[in-house]
Amino acid sequence: MSESAFNLSRRMAGLRPSTIREILKVTAQPEVISFAGGLPAPELFPVAEVKAASDLVLTNNGAAALQYSESEGYRPLREWIATEVGLRGFKASADDILVTNGSQQGLDLMGKLFLNPGDVVLTENPTYLAAIQAFQTFEAKFVPVPTDTDGLIPEALPELIRLHKPKFLYTIPNFQNPTGLTLSAPRRAALARIAAEHGLTILEDDPYGKLRYRGVEIPPVKHWDTAGRVIYASTFSKTIAPGLRIGWMVLPASLFHPTLILKQASDLHTSSFDQRVAHIFLTQNNQTIHLEKIRRAYGERYEILDATLRTEMPAGFTWTKPEGGMFLWVTGPEKLDAMELLQRAIVQKVAFVPGRDFFPADAGKNYFRLNYSNSTPERIREGVRRLAALCR
């Protein structure tokens, strides 16, 4: 069967193959020290607590947990999320919350909701590569917003809005993927104000916000959103476990029903079982203690990565100083070709993700992303030594 036997949609021509997928296959070998991927530390997964929750769900509500359920999501879980959202700095009711199949599905739904072919999405530069993939499915065009170490620069927006009439701005304000950088509080306030003034819709993606290991928590952009222009998305992937695929969105009232119809057409609903298990886990266990364990481990791993990079890396390499999350971002000398470096690194059994795929438009080849959440301190040290030797 040749591919041409099928007449595929136009969108398939625009989809970029993911380099990261191929890298991850290589790095699955246990002898490879991988700074690639974006995996949480599995040794911190609350396996025993999830097991207790599963038992409870199936003992007390087995039939309901295995039956079709509401497309909106499991009501008690949505109520828990509404309370959590209050602690994060803005008000929402359970009625505003849609449970998604991981926060990735939220991106897909927003693409469906907003994007006609050729529509512009504003993004940080670089940005999360699977968001690029999700919006590419709807034939979006990407326009990067100028960015510095405090995140995107709000003052650049009015001109971009005027020129490109974007459908929305996609932003990850906390410990951004891939840079690890955080949008400052004044910029969040400015962003919300500009959105209100210019009728800009903001998709605020916050998967990592609960993973702050130093510095002071900053409320979400949504906190400053008096005009109802911000859609807020988050997930349990980093705080419970990604394998359950439970994400969620807080939607402005007028967008809830249209998005719900799209969710229903996409997969009817998210696993009834996993939603109930997550709800029991959340209500039966102290989340502060659980999250503190993750934060401490990731903070320690970051410190070791940063310290070893400082000792080992040659001149000409700089990297970001995240206050949370799972990634940092390395800028090499102009002449560095991170793809070529990766090929040599894999021979030495160490891996990372070259920066190229995170840029919506073409960009320099001298960047790469390092993940530190999924390696032990010893492996981080050894991995950096191997990598640095190749950079000298």
Q: Cβ distance 147 to 155 under 8 Å?
A: no
User: Site size for a copy of itself, by CB under 8 A?
Assistant: 88
Select 100 or 176, whichever has its Cβ closest to a copy of itself.
Answer: 100
Question: Among all chains, which residue has been given the structure tokens 């990407």?
Answer: 142
Residue window 254-273: x/- pattern of binding to a copy of itself, with contact defined by CB under 8 A: xx--x--xx-xxxxxxxxxx
In the complex, the smallest distance separating the C-beta of residue 127 from a copy of itself, rounded to whole angstroms, is 14
Among 14, 76, 89, 228, binds a copy of itself (CB under 8 A): 228
In the complex, the smallest distance separating the C-beta of residue 272 from a copy of itself, rounded to whole angstroms, is 3
* CA distance readout (Å), 339 to 14, 342, 363: 22, 5, 13
66 touching a copy of itself, by CB under 8 A: yes
User: Among 67-75, 304-312, 313-321, 352-360, which window interacts with a copy of itself (CB under 8 A)?
Assistant: 67-75
Select 125 or 235, whichever has its Cβ closest to a copy of itself.
Answer: 235
**Which residues from 320-359 bind a copy of itself, rule CB under 8 A?**
none
Residue window 280-319: x/- pattern of binding to a copy of itself, with contact defined by CB under 8 A: ----------------------------------------
In the complex, the smallest distance separating the C-beta of residue 8 from a copy of itself, rounded to whole angstroms, is 6
For residue 378, the one-letter residue type is E
In the complex, the smallest distance separating the C-beta of residue 137 from a copy of itself, rounded to whole angstroms, is 5
Q: Which residues contact 305 (CB under 8 A, 6 or more apart)?
A: 328, 370, 372, 380, 384
Among 112, 210, 222, 369, binds a copy of itself (CB under 8 A): 112
Among 33, 81, 96, 108, binds a copy of itself (CB under 8 A): 108
User: Among 129-137, 141-149, 289-297, 313-321, which window interacts with a copy of itself (CB under 8 A)?
Assistant: 129-137
> In terms of Cα–Cα distance, which of 238, 278, 247 is closest to 374?
238
User: Among 155-163, 244-252, 336-344, 381-389, which window interacts with a copy of itself (CB under 8 A)?
Assistant: 244-252
Question: Among all chains, which residue has been given the structure tokens 């326009």?
Answer: 143
Select 166 or 173, whichever has its Cβ closest to a copy of itself.
Answer: 166
User: Among 40-48, 154-162, 174-182, 333-341, which window interacts with a copy of itself (CB under 8 A)?
Assistant: 40-48
Select 139 or 323, whichever has its Cβ closest to a copy of itself.
Answer: 139
Select 113 or 338, whichever has its Cβ closest to a copy of itself.
Answer: 113
Q: Which residues contact 153 (CB under 8 A, 6 or more apart)?
A: 145, 146, 147, 187
Q: Check the CA dihedral 234-73-11-114 and report its sign.
A: negative
Select 108 or 323, whichever has its Cβ closest to a copy of itself.
Answer: 108
**Which residues from 162-201 bind a copy of itself, rule CB under 8 A?**
167, 199, 201
Cα atoms in the Cβ-side hemisphere of radius 13 Å centred on 7: 0
**Which residues from 352-381 bind a copy of itself, rule CB under 8 A?**
none
User: Among 16-24, 293-301, 307-315, 382-390, which window interacts with a copy of itself (CB under 8 A)?
Assistant: 16-24
8 touching a copy of itself, by CB under 8 A: yes
CA distance 303 to 301: 5
